[in-house]
Structure 1
């Protein structure tokens, strides 16, 4: 006889109860990072003693650590690369631990099919990741759109600023969730899946970052003599000799085409990981003919 707690709407509640600590930690992270960004924009950035660019020469460590640029860089990195933690959680705690200790197999004997189990495991964290990531993107865009000084304007080519100003941030988090689930199903060991998922997402991000500015047709400029390359562009290639020169670069106007192209690639990887996860689960749980 199946357990009443696992029938009907009980499965989502069970998943929520099992992983409430992780969901609470995610909520605290989103609230803390958002609050930090708001504080930087409204307090630190408006204080002339802390909003200046990092000093050179005689400068104490405290000035560097408390300055607006340094703290904003830290906050951006924390937000931008939070997907690594999502991957580790999905592989280690969400899936790997339950397969390692047999709690998933126990659920399957209580009237819950493996497909329903995996669907619930993916759906609730995906909702949390999407909601939290969207909040972080909106707050980051608000902060980056109104720097306290024009000299502190974000460079759009900076990795974190490129990711955190649009849906790419959410796409990486969803992909991390999907890749973590897949590694958990493959390895069925919490620690191994945690490390593999985090490593796989780090590698994916490193590869896409290295090719980021080649994902959209770039502007090519040539001339018979040396010329100045426009400011605030992502230089892809340049060269020439004494008689001619060329430069290929991405201007700021190409931000959204580049951003959305990478977003589509990351979401495609996520969809493939989800598809493979369901196929793998079905293969391992269906009885042999």
Structure 2
């Protein structure tokens, strides 16, 4: 299943590599000219939307559309193992991309180089970017399983991800009086809890699929 999931997700891995190449160029530019530093941090937030729309949404929906899920389920592969293989490979890829991106941004703006309380610094440093991409991946997968249509899942994923990232998380963050790392851990914990819940929803939908 790992090899099969990798074969299916090669395009996403290549696209993530290309995106990281662009971020690397921005990071080097920011080291030369500080004007690029804020741009680099702002672009870091787009990874969440890209993961949900282009990696999570097609993950399950595309198999339902093309009927390839039937091939896997009739080859002595339990549905849980099928889902675990696909989500596991995708999670490894998205976490690697988010980790490299966070490391790049941290290298551009080390501790003390900018205000940790600013939203663009907060959302591009620490553990929040890692937990957020897992949430985005599982949200896209759940939407794909529920709609069973790749394009519909991709279209719905954009406003939902934007609302959670820009509206819900940021507004709640402003109402909580915690220091930087305590707030990072709390928000990351919420993202991970929601990601587990979304994974459970996806599994239940897959189990009920005839």
Shared fold (TM-score, shorter chain, > 0.5): yes
2:118 aligned partner: 158
What is the rounded CA distance, in whole Å, between the counterparts of 2:86 and 2:159 in structure 1? 21
Question: Which has the larger share of helix?
Answer: 2
Work out whether residues 90 and 184 of structure 1, in 8 Å CA contact, stay in contact via their aligned partners in 2. Answer: no
1:170 corresponds to: 130
Q: 1:264 to 1:215 in 2, by over 3 A?
A: farther
- 1:197 and 2:122 are equivalent in the alignment: no
SS at match of 1:124: helix
Q: Which structure 1 residue ranges, 5 or more long, are not aligned?
A: 1-10, 46-67, 148-152, 218-253
Distance 2:29 2:111 in 1: 13
Distance 2:56 2:94 in 1: 15
Q: Select the residue among 173, 195, 202 that pairs with 1:270.
A: 195
- Structure 1 residues 227-252: Cα deviation after superposition (integer angstroms, max 9, x where no partner): xxxxxxxxxxxxxxxxxxxxxxxxxx
CA deviation string 1:196-243 (max 9, x = no partner): 2222221211211111122335xxxxxxxxxxxxxxxxxxxxxxxxxx
Q: Any idea what SS the aligned residue of 1:100 has?
A: helix
Provide the C-alpha distance between the structure 1 equivalents of 2:93 and 2:155, rounded to a whole number of angstroms. 22
Q: Which residue of 2 aligns with 1:216?
A: 177
Q: Which has the higher contact order (CA 8 A, sep 6+)?
A: 2
| Residue of structure 2 equivalent to 1:97 | 62
Secondary structure of 1:155's aligned partner: coil
Q: 2:168 corresponds to which residue?
A: 207
TM, length-normalised to structure 2? 0.91
Look up the match of 1:110: 75
How far the C-alpha of 1:258 sits from its partner, in A, is 1.4
After superposition, the CA RMSD in angstroms is: 1.8
Which protein is bigger by CA-based radius of gyration? 1
Q: Which runs of 5+ in 2 are unaligned?
A: none
1:216 and 1:90 map into 2 onto residues whose CA distance is 34
SS of the residue 2:134 aligns to: helix
1:83 maps to which residue? 48
Native 8 Å contact 2:37 2:109 kept in 1: no
**For the residues of structure 2 that align with 1:90 and 1:20, how far apart are their CA atoms?**
11
Alignment match of 2:88 (pick from 106, 113, 123):
123
- How many angstroms apart in 1 are the aligned matches of 2:96 and 2:175? 30
Question: Aligned to 2:126, what secondary structure does the other structure show?
Answer: coil
Q: Report the count of equivalent residues.
A: 209
Find the partner of 1:133 among 83, 88, 98: 98
| Alignment match, 2:38 | 73
Task: Name the CA distance, whole Å, in 1 between partners of 2:120 and 2:2.
Answer: 33
The residue aligned with 1:283 is 208
Q: Equivalent residue for 1:25?
A: 15
